[in-house]
Structure 1
Amino acid sequence: MSDRPSRQAKKPFLYVVVCASGIADDVGTLISAAQGRQWDVGVVATPQGLKFIDAQAVASQTGFPIRSAWRSPGDPRPLPPADAIVVAPATFNTINKWAAGISDTLALGILCEAYGFGIPTAALPYLNSAQAAHPAYRQSLDRLREMGVLIGSHEPHPPKADGVADSFRWEEALELIAPHLSGRP
C-alpha cells in the first residue's frame, strides 16, 4: 500500500499561462485567488512573458518552477497535468497564434493540445484598441469560442493608456472555468 495520496485526494491543478504584458507582474493576484479556492497552481510563461514577471517570487508562491521552454526527452515533468488552464493576460499575439494552431512556444503548445484533451480553458484578453481593431483578432476570438475557450469580458484599452491595469479582473478567469469543472472548485 502506498503512502502517497491518490489523485482524487489532491487539489485540482491549474496552469496559468502568462503572456508579455505590462500587467503580467500582477499575476500573483490570480495565483492567490486560485489557491484560496483550493487549487494548486503552476505557471507557464511565454518566452517574452517571462521577462515581465518576478520568476523567483512566482515560483515561491506556487511551489513549482515556472515553465517557459520544452523539457528534454527523459527529463521529469515539473508540473502535474492540468485540470484547467487560464491565459492571463492573453495578448494579441498569443490569441492569434493559438487560434491559428501555431505551436512555436511551450505555452502555445500546451494551449493547442488543451483543446484535444478537453481541458477547460479561459482567456482574459489584455490589449489595446488599435490591436483589437485588426480583423484577425475578432476572427481569432470567434475561433477560440468555437473551440470552447471561455473568453473574459475585459475591454481593449486606448493605446498607451495609463491606469487600465486597475480594472483587470484576474479572478474572472476562475469564475469562467468554475461551471465547467464537474465537482471541482
Structure 2
Amino acid sequence: MNVVTDAYLSDYRRRIKSISQRFLLIGIQIIDIERINCKILGSSNRMYTLEIVKSEFAPFVYTSCNCPDCTIRKVTCKHMYWFGTKQLGVSHPNLWTVEIIELFIMNNTRFHVQFATGRNETCPICLEPINYHQEHTICCTMVCQNSVHSMCWRRYHFSSFSDKCVVCRSKSMPSIF
C-alpha cells in the first residue's frame, strides 16, 4: 500500500471509532466569543480537551485536541469527529465554519439558561438516544426531571466527582453507586 492509501484508511478508522465507541461530553466551557473548550471522556476513560478557536479573518475555525492522534500524529482525531457529528451536525472539522460555531455558542448558552423539563429523548452526557424500555436511567428528581443513562452517569460521576444534574445543575443526582 502507498502512503495516501494508508492515511486514508487510518482516517477512515478514526471516523468509524467516533461513531462506534462511547464518548462522554463532560463539560463545555465558552472562554470568550472566540474560543470553546470541551472536556470529552474517551472510551478508555481518559479525559481530553477539544479546543475550538474562531478566526475573525477566515470563515473556518481552528481545532485542536490534547489526544495523541492530534498532538503527536498531527491528524484529525476521533474526538473531533464525534463532537462534530453529535454537537454541530458536521463531522469533519475542516468544514466547521464560524457561523456553525456561533450557532453552537448561542444554543449552548441558551441551553443552560432555559433547560427543558420532563422526559428527554437524548442522554445529555453521551448524546445517544435513550430507550426507556431497555436501558437503565437515572433521573434528576428535584428540578428538571431529565434522565441520563446510568452507565453514563457512573462514568461522569467518577471522572468529575460531581453529583449535580448535567442539565439543570441542581444537586439532585445520586453520588454513590
* TM-score for both structures, normalised by structure 2: 0.29
More contact order relative to length (CA 8 Å, sep ≥ 6): 1
Report which of the two structures shows the higher radius of gyration computed on alpha carbons: 2
